[in-house]
Amino acid sequence: MCRSIKTLREPYTPQVTDDDVRAAALQYVRKISGFRAPAAHNAAAFEAAVAAVAEATRTLLDQLVVRGGAAPGAGRAAVGAGAPGAGQAAASAGATVSGAQRER
């Protein structure tokens, strides 16, 4: 979608910072809104969207399980840790859905 958003999961980025997450969220919101910098009357909505996308990004990165890689959230201490076991639950749910889809 947007070439300036870099991949933030391991092994592409071993240490993800809050600045990395915010930069990706900002680029995403800029792309979908069509504004590089919003007008004053749109600034609050723009910043709220950046914060929401950044939070969703943190949650995603904390829950991803990379095959043959580290446990969920490993290497993401700078971004923050997710709920214990949340990554395993998401991985189990994803494996079930993937397995069901393959059987069709």
Mean pLDDT by 10-residue block, N- to C-terminus, for the chain (104 residues)?
70 84 94 94 97 96 79 50 41 38 36
**Can you give the pLDDT at residue 104?**
33
* SS (HEC) of the chain: CCCCCCCCCCCCCCCCCHHHHHHHHHHHHHHHHCCCCCCHHHHHHHHHHHHHHHHHHHHHHHHCCCCCCCCCCCCCCCCCCCCCCHHHHHHHHHHHHHHHHHHC
